[in-house]
Amino acid sequence: MLIGSDGCPKAVQKMKPYVAMILLQFSYAGMYIISVATLKDGMNQFVLVVYRNIVATAVIIPFALWFERKGRPKITPIIFIKILTLAVLEPVLEQNFYCMGAKLTSASFASTLENIIPAITYLMALVLRAEKLDIRRRRGQAKVIGTLLTVAGAVLMILYKGPIFDLVFSSKAREKQSNSADSIGQGEDSFKWMKGTFMIIGSSTSWSAFLILQSNTLESYPAELTLTALICSMGTVMSTTVALVANHTSSRPWIIGFDKRLLAPIYTGVVCTGVAYYVQGIVMKERGPVFASAFSPLVMIMTAIMGSFILAEKLSLGMTIGAIIMVAGLYGLLWGKSRDYQSSSEIERNAGESELPVATSNVSNRDSTMNGQDPKDEKISIVP
């Protein structure tokens, strides 16, 4: 059995990024349901974002202070600007855009439309030259086709609804349907739905930019816990400012009780902000931002099931067909990215193997010359 540098079998090492991202998507599905249920129950979206980041900051700072107390790099002005930008992109823009978009649409629609994130991430990475595209190779063609399919599925889902159907798994959800204002086709204002759609697209774009910048920042500041703590703390200050401006006429939105309004910021802050930033950072250091963004179809599936069960949400034919097209595109993009990773690993392995024979040859020549022998008479030993 091949053992990796950390003492784990290499097969387990290869599976770690996949397992981490799958578990992360399950946690995100819970966030979609809890957040939308809380928002549609009357909680202010700006206040939810503030409490979420306060909880995340309080949870992650002790771990950052303890585990990275010795190996924490210095913060240069450039790194500080990057961290400040990360705090604007995710805690402020992405979270607020998502909350407003999901409140105007539904949890299922929001989680499905956010499958466009890998395509946006890949296009941004190409523009910034963080990703390379070789259209002559099959993996390059797969990434281009996957990106186009993802965008096409998103456009179809936005423009076409079609017949409505539901995925109700409990009698309780059926009872809610008669009074539900969250389901597609039951009196929503089209303008609000379209406004929510653009909010979700804005949220997805901010998240894609966050992924790329986070990956870049970790190269010069390789302290995942400290970086997470700094992003959360700066995000708390800025999101609080936004919330105070938006709710300057009343203090009522800030009052919460022992109910969903307390559960939502605790769950989203601990699991989907603090833990998610850290795990995501580790995965991106190994596999890159495109890989980290390519598991969102799992969120869509789990959110659709839980949304039907808990929120009595319905699905449309256009949303379902668009989701299928997007998933096909996402896995084409993921396949191409995985081939990139395999190719780079092979290049590194071959480079390591080619260096050793040269060193062996030089040592052999030097020893033969010292002994008065012709180096050409010596046999070169190549160690694989």
Q: In Å, how far are 15, 101, 279 from 108, measured between CA atoms?
A: 29, 12, 25
Residue 14 has pLDDT above 50, yes or no: yes
CB atoms within 10 A of CB 80: 13
Q: Please count the CA atoms within 13 angstroms of the CA of 41 that sit on its side-chain side.
A: 15
Token duo for residue 254: 């800030």
Residue 381 has pLDDT above 80, yes or no: no
Averaged pLDDT of the chain: 79
**What does the alpha-carbon distance between residue 84 and residue 65 come to, in Å, rounded to a whole number?**
20
Question: Locate tokens 């202010």: which residue?
Answer: 44
The SS3 assignment for 222 reads coil
Residue 9 has pLDDT above 50, yes or no: yes
pLDDT class of 366 with cuts at 50, 70, 90:
very low
pLDDT for residue 170: 45
**What does the alpha-carbon distance between residue 263 and residue 271 come to, in Å, rounded to a whole number?**
12
Nearest in space to 220 (alpha carbons), one of 82, 68, 63: 82
The SS3 assignment for 128 reads coil
Residue 234 has pLDDT above 80, yes or no: yes
Instruction: Give the N- to C-terminal CA distance of the chain in Å, as an integer.
Output: 18
pLDDT for residue 143: 87
Per-residue pLDDT tens over the stretch 166-196: 665 544 444 544 444 444 444 447 888 899 9
Question: Locate tokens 């790329």: which residue?
Answer: 212
pLDDT class of 8 with cuts at 50, 70, 90:
low
Please compute the mean of the pLDDT values over residues 120-131 and round it to a whole number.
Answer: 86
Nearest in space to 319 (alpha carbons), one of 154, 118, 148, 180: 154
Token duo for residue 62: 């002790």
Please compute the mean of the pLDDT values over residues 284-291 and round it to a whole number.
Answer: 75
Question: Locate tokens 């800025």: which residue?
Answer: 238
Is pTM beyond 0.85 here? Answer: no
pLDDT for residue 201: 94
pLDDT for residue 316: 83
Please compute the mean of the pLDDT values over residues 319-334 and round it to a whole number.
Answer: 86
Please compute the mean of the pLDDT values over residues 346-365 and round it to a whole number.
Answer: 50
Quick one: 6 exposed, middle or buried, by C-beta within 10 A (0-12, 13-18, 19+)? Answer: exposed
Residue 215 has pLDDT above 80, yes or no: yes
Per-residue pLDDT tens over the stretch 19-47: 888 888 888 888 888 988 898 888 999 99
Lowest-confidence segment of 147-161, 322-336, 351-365 by average pLDDT: 351-365
Nearest in space to 188 (alpha carbons), one of 316, 326, 43: 316
Q: In Å, how far are 27, 120, 141, 217, 219 from 285, measured between CA atoms?
A: 21, 19, 25, 10, 8
**What does the alpha-carbon distance between residue 270 and residue 256 come to, in Å, rounded to a whole number?**
18
pLDDT for residue 116: 87
pLDDT class of 352 with cuts at 50, 70, 90:
low
Distance of CA 344 to the CA centre of its chain: 23
Q: In Å, how far are 22, 23, 171, 244, 271 from 280, measured between CA atoms?
A: 11, 11, 38, 30, 12
Residue 260 has pLDDT above 90, yes or no: no
Q: How many percent of the chain have pLDDT more than 70? A: 79
pLDDT for residue 6: 53
CB atoms within 10 A of CB 160: 13
pLDDT for residue 200: 94
Per-residue pLDDT tens over the stretch 45-96: 999 999 999 998 999 999 899 988 888 889 999 999 999 999 999 999 999 9
Q: In Å, how far are 239, 285, 336 from 13, measured between CA atoms?
A: 38, 14, 21
| Single-letter amino acid, residue 182 | D
C-alpha Rg value of the chain to the nearest Å = 25
Token duo for residue 348: 């590194």
